[in-house]
Structure 1
Amino acid sequence: MTRRSVTLSVAGALVVALVALASLLPVPYVVYSPGPMEDTLGEWNDAPVVQIQEGVETFETDGTLDLTTVGVTSADTELDLITVLRAWLDGDRAVVPRSTVYRDDETAEESREQSARQLARSQESAKVAALRELGYDVPERIVVVTVFEDSPADGVLEPGDVIVSVDGEDVAEPAEVAEIVQDREPGETVEFVLRRGDDEITVTAGTEPAEDDGRPLVGFAPDWGYEYPVEISIGIDERIGGPSAGMIFALAIYDTMTEEPLVAGTHIAGSGEITGNGEVGPIGGIQQKIAAAGQAGVELFLAPVANCDEAGEANGGDMQVTPVETLSDAIETIETFNNGDGASLPTC
């Protein structure tokens, strides 16, 4: 064997060894990929996705209104370099640092639970936004949404408690509750005046330091709660989670409760968080959602304004991608598109 042959053989063996090593070494990234879509005007488990209480008039819808999803590497899965490189070369997938998606110690079960809570909150906000758009009055109050196990709040506060005041201070926003608590020192107590059922009660809870930065925590999550004039339920695949379907849920409710079909035979999709006041917020994985919608033959995709720059780089084919800021914007956009004036709409 010549020296050249020996050199090539050694080099080839080294390349094979390096590739094998790279396939074994975990890297701190996760991959976003296009996920499945669900028609919110259709059915899930043989029942309409959107169901309105008996006695409230509803109307036939026409067309498809898809919520879009993104597949994300599970919290308990470590990716190797080869897998990440393949995803990086795929225009419909994205590679992002693991730390932007998961905590260092986050488990797959914790991630699923958080995603389910986000989905539930998005559905509540969607109901409120749609009902208000339809002219209903939907009173709101600050409530305890979650009480964390083994925290100082456990056994003191209960989900559904209405928060009236914190340490003698009236609160007007959920964020104000956290601000008052974080003005205390870890170990100090906090007094809450609550409405629980028909009773107004006063309770006291301790605080403990957060593991990451030592700020004082009581161990519960406050958020808006609502008094619904119309009961609405939303049934969807339990594997779907996160907050980003809120806008599409709101549009589906609105379409179901208005006499003239909104979607009107068109294939529409989109993604966006929504507040009870109808404001549409940014979401993750917009490029993968647009890619999935484009491949499915969607005609119009509604994207949050804040995601428009990213959306403009996505591979949506001939599909029109239009930015929206509010639920009212989204409704007007669909109406304009269905009237044949889609060219007048802004695009990403």
Structure 2
Amino acid sequence: MKTKYKIGSLLFAAVVFMASSFYTLPYYVSKPGMAKELEPIIKVENGFEEKGNFMLTTVRMGKANIYSYLLAKASKYQEIYPVDVIKRDDESDEEYTTRQLHLMESSKLNAIEVAYKKHGLPVNYQYKGVYVLNIYPGMPADGKLLPGDRIFKADNKSFSSSELFIEYVSNKKEGENINLTIERNNQTKDISLTVAPFPDQPSKKGVGIGLVDDKEIMVDPEVTVNTEEIGGPSAGLMFSLEIYNQLTKEDLTKGYEIAGTGTIDPNGEVGPIGGIEQKIVAADKVGAEIFFAPNEKGIKDSNYNAAIKTAKDIHTKMKIIPVDTFDEAVAYLELLPAKK
């Protein structure tokens, strides 16, 4: 009888544990992710090889349940964030994922532009339409368009920029129909919507989508960047260094394992990112010897200063290098003696 009672108690505890693990809290937990070599995922046509490696660094982010929340509370290099810090107001999980993947796509385009221009090669863009990032609840697009849809015609008209598309839609009268031609899952379809005022801005009219340009970069030699499902803009700097290195005969890695993080804009400016502490831990685990960190013009609470603090705390031998621009990172590498 006691044995049956014990088994029943264990089964009940197991069911409670499983059920509670599926109940999420209004928080996200981030922890050290991976440091991934870039040469296998970035290929410049007929590009030069390198002796060392450039690596992107990531954090692992997920919704918190009671167990991951308590574990993060007890862990030094796990962080807890309220949902509204990670996601925008009324942003669905699908919209958040779409936004992160688009930020990664923009990061890749900026990195290619910076690297090719640094090498003195021309860069051109082909406009393909507008890319739907999010849908405003209660507006005409709600339930008809989805995050990730590509709109490439309105009333059978093509546009050369998102600004012209927005201007065309906003010039429509309230209640007037607009026919959008979209691409979704490699299939083309027409969707008819009615122009309406935004509930919080009655003077502003539209169909209720947040959008960005969908464009393709045109460069020679060709370059491919296969990031699969990695999202966010924080790999921009490291992308640009890897692409530039494959374009350049002299190997900038000099045989070192080089990690780093930071956004990149088309002018080569390096911007701050989140989770720098976890990225230092991830880079140290794979034996990185150099880490580029956004300097943020030397402000007190910069990514660089946070990285230095973490590096000292985990007793890593990795060199932390502050950078504000792509050119600064290249200049550092050009002066770096080759690894013996």
Matched residues in 1 for 2:237 and 2:157: separation? 25
- Deviation of 1:311 (Å): 2.5
**Aligned residue in 1 for 2:309:** 313
Matched, 1:274 2:274: no
Partner residue of 1:265? 255
**Distance of 1:118 and 1:84 partners within structure 2:** 27
Distance 1:190 1:28, change over 3 A: same
- CA spacing shift, 1:224–1:114, aligned 2, 3 Å: closer
How far apart are 1:249 and its partner, in Å? 1.2
Secondary structure of 1:144's aligned partner: strand
Inter-CA distance 223–156: structure 2 relative to 1 (3 Å threshold): closer
SS at match of 1:123: helix
Aligned pairs, how many? 281
Q: Residue 279 of structure 1: CA displacement?
A: 1.7
SS at match of 2:99: helix
User: 2:55 corresponds to which residue?
Assistant: 66
Give the SS at the match of 1:314: helix
For 2:325, the equivalent position in structure 1 comes to: 326
The answer (yes or no) to whether the contact 2:152–2:159 under 8 Å persists in 1 is no
Q: Deviations over 1:55-74 (max 9, x none)?
A: xx52221101111011001x
Contact 2:291 2:319 in 1 (8 A): yes
Instruction: From 28, 31, 35, give the equivalent of 1:30.
Output: 28
Pair 258,72 (structure 1): closer, same or farther in 2 beyond 3 Å: same
The 3 A distance-change label for structure 1 pair 212 and 240 is farther
Cα distance, 1:134 vs. partner?
A: 0.5
CA distance in 2, matches of 1:159, 1:147: 18
Provide TM-score, normalisation by structure 1.
Answer: 0.67
2:182 is matched with: none
- In structure 2, what residue type is equivalent to 1:60? E
Amino acid corresponding to residue 260 of structure 2 in structure 1: G
SS at the partner of 2:71? Answer: helix
- In structure 2, relative to structure 1, the CA distance for the partners of 1:268 and 1:159 (3 Å cut) is farther
Distance 1:216 1:93, change over 3 A: farther
Equivalent residue for 1:100, pick from 73, 79, 85: 85
* Counterpart in the other structure of 1:134: 119
Q: Deviations over 1:219-259 (max 9, x none)?
A: 362348444243211123x2322211111111111111111
Post-superposition shift, 1:217? 4.3
Deviates more, 1:264-273 or 1:315-324: 315-324
* 1:273 CA drift (Å): 1.4
Instruction: Say if 1:291 and 1:185 are closer, same or farther in 2 by CA, change over 3 A.
Output: farther
- C-alpha deviation, 1:335, in angstroms: 2.8
Correspondent of 1:255 among 228, 245, 257: 245
- After TM superposition, the structure 1 stretch with the greater mean CA deviation from structure 2, 131-140 or 60-69, is 131-140
Structure-2 change in CA distance of 1:276 and 1:224 (3 Å): farther
Aligned counterpart for 1:89 among listed residues 64, 74, 87: 74
SS at match of 1:313: helix
Q: Give identity over the alignment, percent.
A: 30
Whether the aligned pair in 2 keeps the contact of 1:144 and 1:221 (CA below 8 Å) is: no
Q: 1:124 aligns with which of 106, 109, 132?
A: 109
Paired residues for 1:180-191 under 5 Å: 187=174
Distance in 2 (CA, whole Å) between partners of 1:300 and 1:270 is: 8
Residues 181, 190 of structure 1: 8 Å contact kept: no
Calculate the TM-score normalised by the size of structure 2.
0.69
Name stretches of at least 5 consecutive residues in structure 1 with no aligned partner.
1-19, 44-48, 167-176, 192-204, 341-348
What is the deviation of 1:159? 12
- Is residue 162–residue 213 contact of structure 2 (8 Å, CA) maintained in 1? no
The answer to whether the 8 Å contact 1:272/1:280 transfers is: yes
Deviations 1:307-337 (A, max 9, x none): 2243233245222212212211111122334
* Equivalent position SS for 1:34: strand
In structure 2, list runs of 5 or more residues that go unmatched: 1-16, 134-140, 179-192, 297-302
Q: How far off is 1:165 after superposition? A: 6.5
